[in-house]
Amino acid sequence: MRDLRAATTDPTTTPGRVAPAIEVTGLRRSYGDLLVLDGVDLTVTPGTVFALLGPNGAGKTTVVNILTTLVDAHGGTVRVAGHDVATEPDLVRRSIGVTGQFSAIDDLFTGAENLRLMADLHHLDRLEGSRRVSELLERFDLVDAADRPATTYSGGMRRRLDLAMTLVGDPQVIFLDEPTTGLDPRSRRTMWEAVTELVDDGTTVFLTTQYLEEADRLADRVAVLDRGTIVADGTVDELKRRVPGGHVRLQFPSTVQLDTAAATWRDDGRVVGRDDRSLTLQVPGDGSPDSLRALLDRIDRDRLDVEHLSVHRPDLDDVFLALTGRGTDHDAADPEGATGTGRADPDHATAPEAVR
Amino acid sequence: MTTTTFALRDTSTMLRREFRRTLRYPVGPSVTVGLPIVFLLLFVYVLGDTLGAGLAGPGAGRDDYLDYLVPGMLVLTIASATSVTPVTVAIDRTAGIMDRFRTMAIARSSVLAGHVLANVAQAMVGMAVLVGIALLLGFSPTATPVEWLVTAGLLALATFALIWFAVALGLVADSVETASNLAMPLVLLPFLGSGFVPTESLPTGLRWFAEYQPFTPIIETVRGLLLGTAIGWQGVVAVAWCLVITVASWRWARHLFHRDPT
Ligand SMILES: Nc1ncnc2c1ncn2[C@@H]1O[C@H](COP(=O)(O)OP(=O)(O)OP(=O)(O)O)[C@@H](O)[C@H]1O
Ligand SMILES: [Mg+2]
């Protein structure tokens, strides 16, 4: 039930054709007594976007840190761009670009100076360096801000500069750890466009995200990481197929009614999700007239006070729910940002809706 | 290009970065250059008369104390620089840019080397300014050009050693605040040595500490070179301290730099 890989038929992973851009087998890592990664396997085909999806604390950043030579693995093998990260870290570094979860820019420098620093460290000569810097400023809409110190940049601008810095060296494989967390919809779209352009140019992109919409939009393949293991791996469509039918979301006028409904329906295991804040219950239902009629009859029979009802086709959220027994549930897992920054998350509440 | 030329090129890039950062946010140089000058003026003009007489007997005064004080002030300049370095290192570390460097195919040694060289340069400039001001105030060293050169060499060696130590402190600290606190005690060390008064005048416990801490032989050697007082074994002890501190700190810093980010 939990392993999708056996059922995977995606031709891009057929072995023997192209050497994978990223190949991870049996990856393990702990911090002290905490086993963070417990046997992770991943394969990413060159020129594709791979999204690693998971809630806070799932181990996404740990995976990225190991793949980018920042952190040692405690077990398993990791090859990136054909090189083993443990034995040939320098060759790996030569092929990758990394945009970490938190911005890694020099605040005392202007945007242009930050890019220039990267150009110098990539040993581009003066002319080539300047060309690359102005090209990237242009591409990431930073021309006007180029000569302002990075401290004056907005969150979106910092993120764009961060990605631009990652691209100075023209890397084959790019890692983006939650590239759009905390961005407004417009900045988010700019990031998405940038990722799409990169892939069109043949770059491989490995990104982590908590947003299902993002994975849906960008990724050729998705893996769901939960408590240190990959609980599902496949194309977005394959994952969606895992969840037959969809669900119906019922909204109640108050907690009392919500409790009553939950109690009535829990017995036959029909509740698949509950959100106390929005006073909603999710129950299975594919949206067919028959299933809806049955549902309405039941609401009448049990005298439940349903204020609002909406039908949802399966999306990655349902997949997540089915695979982990929990929703992605950013809010519960991340009160004011468990990441410590308390980043605003303007449209996470709507992100899953947009998939439908 | 060979590995060495790469390393040199990356180090010079990092060094330029540090210089530019220092110009943008000149807190470091103001502490490194400013603090010893403030202390010099304070000690010479407020306490100089009394301390001078106490040191060299009646009839002696401010000028004698100025001569006595300068070597300690030079070492205080090193200590001040040492208190600034951990902060700049910790800023880089916590701001994530150090992790970015660590994922790039650059000469890894250049990241720390940039910090070390920039801070050593800053301290050397601070010491030059201090000597200039002291000469204006009436400092009268007896050193020959060769002795000046040896003094500069020893001070550079001591700075190099202590800045490496400071870099390690910046790497071991989990936040910029911790880094700043860790480095604070270093500024006190010259005061707990022979920088301001001879160690013989200190109470027993403190005297013992003062005689065995690394700053005292450095101060005494500089004093001997500049003013012709007896050096004895102090020179050898000073150089030995510098070498031990350099090697130990360099290894510690390297270990910390390569460890996983926390
Ligand atoms: N340096 C560290 N020391 C101790 N524990 C750590 C360290 N880094 C990560 N962890 C723990 O490992 C687990 C996974 O963390 P990780 O940062 O990889 O999760 P994540 O999926 O990136 O989460 P988020 O969405 O919040 O960024 C967490 O429980 C975290 O507390
Ligand atoms: Mg993370």
Q: What are B4-49's pLDDT values in tens digits?
A: 888 899 999 999 999 999 998 888 888 888 888 998 898 888 877 7
More confident residue, A151 or B29: A151
Per-residue b or e along B207-232, where b marks 16 or more CB atoms closer than 10 Å to that residue's CB: beebeebbbbbbbbbbbbbbbebebe
Burial (CB count within 10 angstroms: exposed 0-12, middle 13-18, buried 19+), residue A303: exposed
Structure tokens at A313: 């086709």
Residues ≥6 apart with Cβ < 8 Å to A98: A64, A68, A166, A174, A175, A177, B100, B103
Does the structure show a pLDDT above 80 at A66? yes
Q: Is A287 in the pocket of ligand 1 (CB under 6 A)?
A: no
Mean pLDDT in residue range A219-247? 82
Two tokens at B115? 């910090």
Tell which wins on pLDDT, A166 or A57.
A166
ipTM over 0.90: no
CA distance A76 to chain B (A): 18
Q: How far apart are CA B127 and CA A239, in angstroms?
A: 67
CA of A210, nearest ligand number: 1
- The answer to whether the beta carbons of residues A327 and A273 sit under 8 Å apart is yes
pLDDT for res B57 = 66
| Cα(A312)–Cα(A347) distance, integer angstroms | 19
CB-nearest to B105 from A90, A108, A117 is A90
* Highest mean pLDDT (candidates A279-293, A331-345, B181-195, B245-259): B245-259
Whole-number pLDDT of residue A326: 60
Say whether residue A86 is in contact with chain B using an 8 A CB cutoff: no
Confirm or reject: Cβ of A13 under 6 Å from ligand 1.
no
- Whether the per-residue pLDDT at A176 is higher than 50: the answer is yes
Residue A170, chain B, CB below 8 Å: the answer is no
Spatial distance between the Cα atoms of B243 and B187, rounded to a whole number of angstroms: 20
pLDDT of A56 over the 80 cut: yes
Residue B100 at interface with chain A, using a CB cutoff of 8 Å: yes
Q: Whose CA is nearest to atom 30 of ligand 1?
A: A57
Residue type at B207 in one-letter notation:
R
What is chain A's percent helix, strand, coil content, to nearest 5? 40, 25, 40
State if residue A338 touches ligand 1 by the CB under 6 angstroms criterion.
Answer: yes
pLDDT tier, A100 (very low <50, low <70, confident <90, very high otherwise): confident
Give the per-residue pLDDT at A269.
Answer: 60
* Pairwise pLDDT comparison (A44 vs A295), residue with the higher score: A44
Mutation to probe ligand 1, out of A29, A60, A224 (largest number of atoms < 8 A from CB): A60
| The residue type at A48 | T
Token output for B17? 């970065």
CA of B245 to the centre of ligand 1 (A): 35
DSSP string over B25-48 = STHHHIIIIIHHHHHHHHIIIIIH
B57 φ, ψ (degrees, to nearest 5): 90, 170
User: Exposed, middle or buried: residue A348 (CB in 10 Å: 0-12, 13-18, 19+)?
Assistant: middle
Report which of residues A213 and A87 the model is more confident about.
Answer: A87
> A244-268, pLDDT tens digit by residue?
667 788 899 988 888 888 887 776 6
Is any atom of ligand 1 closer than 6 Å to the C-beta of A61? yes
pLDDT at residue A243 in the model = 63
Which distant-in-sequence residues (6+ apart) come within 8 Å of B120 by Cβ? B81, B156, B159, B160, B163
pLDDT over 80 (residue A101): yes
Q: How far is CA A292 from CA A89, A299, A308, A311, A312, in A?
A: 57, 10, 13, 9, 12
Residues, chain A:
356
Which is more confident, A330 or B70? B70
Q: pLDDT tens per residue, chain B (262 residues)?
A: 577 888 899 999 999 999 999 998 888 888 888 888 998 898 888 877 777 777 766 666 777 888 888 999 999 999 999 999 999 999 998 888 999 999 999 998 899 999 999 999 999 999 999 999 999 998 989 989 999 999 999 999 999 999 999 999 999 998 899 998 888 888 888 888 888 888 888 888 888 888 888 899 999 999 999 998 888 888 899 999 999 999 999 999 999 988 765 5
> Is 60 exceeded by the pLDDT of residue A170?
yes
CA B3 to chain CA mean position, Å:
31
Backbone phi, psi, residue A342, to 5°: 60, 35
Atom of ligand 1 nearest to the CA of A338: 26
The pair of three-digit structure tokens given for residue B101, joined into one six-digit string: 């460097």
Q: Among the atoms of ligand 1, which is closest to the Cα of residue A228? A: 14
Ligand 1 atom nearest to CA at A334: 26
Residue A217 has a pLDDT of 87
To the question of pTM greater than 0.90 for the whole model, the response is no
Please say whether the beta carbons of B207 and B199 come within 8 A. yes
pLDDT given at position B74:
93
What is the rounded distance in angstroms from the CA atom of residue A139 to the CA atom of residue B130? 49
Rounded to whole angstroms, the Cα distance separating B37 from B129 reads: 9
3-state secondary structure of B1: coil
* Higher-confidence position of A23 and B2: A23
Q: Which of B75, B108, B111, B103 is nearest to B195 (CA)?
A: B75
pLDDT over 90 at A172, yes or no: yes
User: What's the confidence (pLDDT) of residue A315?
Assistant: 65
**Which residue among A107, A121, A149 sits closest to B104, beta carbon to beta carbon?**
A121
pLDDT exceeds cutoff 80 at A130? yes
CA distances from B195 to A283, A321, B135, B163 (A): 79, 69, 18, 20
A72 interfacial to chain B (CB closer than 8 Å)? yes
Which residues constitute the domain of residue B108? 3-258
Q: Is the pLDDT of residue A272 over 90?
A: no
Distance A277 CA to ligand 1 centre (A): 27
Q: Does the beta carbon of A36 sit less than 6 angstroms from any atom of ligand 1?
A: yes
For ligand 1, whether the C-beta of A251 sits within 6 Å is no
Taking residues A316-335, what's their average pLDDT? 55
Which pLDDT belongs to residue B28? 82
Phi then psi for residue A30, to 5 deg, are -125, 160
Q: In the block, which residue shows the tokens 């947003």?
A: A211
Token look-up 């301390």 returns B51
Burial class (CB in 10 A: 0-12, 13-18, 19+), A339: middle
| Phi, psi for B8 (deg, rounded to 5) | -65, -40
Residue ranges with CB less than 5 Å from ion ligand 2: A 60-61, 101
Backbone angles phi, psi at B246, to 5 degrees: -60, -55
B76: tokens are 């205080």
The contacts found for B52-61 with CB under 8 angstroms, 24 or more apart, are B55/B197, B55/B198
Residue in A93, A102, A123 nearest the CB of B103: A93
B23-42 burial, b if ≥16 CB within 10 A, otherwise e?
A: eeeeebbebbbebbbebbee
Q: Is the dihedral of CA B91, B93, B94, B95 positive or negative?
A: positive
Q: A181 to each of A212, A271, B221, how far by Cα in Å? A: 12, 30, 58
Is A314 at the interface with chain B, CB within 8 A? Answer: no
- What would the mean pLDDT of A163-190 be, rounded to a whole number? 91
Point out the residue among A70, A72, A108 whose CB comes nearest to the CB of B21.
A108
Asked if B21 lies within 8 A of A93 by C-beta distance, the reply is no
B106 vs A contacts (CB less than 8 Å): 121
- CB of B19 within 8 Å of a chain A CB? The answer is no
Tally of structural domains, chain B:
1
Comparing A53-62, A146-155, B45-54, the range with the smallest average pLDDT is: B45-54
- Which range, of A6-15, A172-181, A183-192, averages the lowest pLDDT? A6-15
**Pocket perturbation via mutation, ligand 1, pick of A30, A53, A61, A331 by most ligand atoms within 8 A of CB:** A61
Residues 229-268 of A with CB under 8 A from B: none
Nearest residue to A323 via CA among A245, A246, A235, A230: A230
